[in-house]
Amino acid sequence: MSKILIAYYSRADENYVNGEIKDLPVGNTELVARKIAEYTGGELFKVEQSVPYSKNYNECIAEAQADQKRNARPELKRCPESIAEFDTIYLGFPNYWSTMPMAMFTFLERFDLSGKTIKPFCTHEGSGMGKSESDIARLCPNATLKKGLAIHGGSVERSVREIKKWCKL
């Protein structure tokens, strides 16, 4: 039986949801990650920056865009020593400026993912997976990349069947 890691980046606080700024106690991507853990028995790992983005939505997206333009690799609060024991990595994130937050680049570059299966998932407000799948393929050329799952952030609670079905693929 394969061992599963669900590594995800998620942000609570102010978020853009269905055309409005809303204060979320738990980020949408974390809600999806928890469902995946429930359906797969996988182990959750939250990817967090040592210096988090602002709790204010507009400041956060400006900081995220600046990091992307600089091709930054933010320092992580913590990271697993190894992920060698895992065969499948579910990789979750909100879509920031058409790809993953730069902290996910930091995470992926820490490990040799050769031979691993990567199943990316993202939450978004209309931009889907963006170019995140091609970025993952570039960062992890010797991994098997499965088709990602993009979930509209405002629809996370109504996407249970879709998430469950995707986990079985």
* DSSP code at position 91: E
pLDDT at 1 (0 to 100): 57
Return the domain boundaries, the chain: 4-168
- Give pLDDT tens digits for 99-130: 999 999 999 999 999 999 999 999 999 899 99
Q: To which H or E segment does residue 21 belong?
A: strand 20-24
Cα gap 91→36, rounded to integer Å: 11
Count Cβ atoms below 10 Å from residue 12 Cβ, excluding itself. Answer: 13
pLDDT at 2 (0 to 100): 77
- Give pLDDT tens digits for 7-51: 999 999 999 999 999 999 999 999 999 999 999 999 999 999 999
Q: Could you tell me which residues are beta bridge partners of residue 21? A: 16
The candidate with the shortest Cα–Cα distance to 169, out of 120, 133, 115, is 120
Top CATH class of 4-168 equals alpha beta
Instruction: Map residue 32 onto helix, strand or coil.
Output: helix
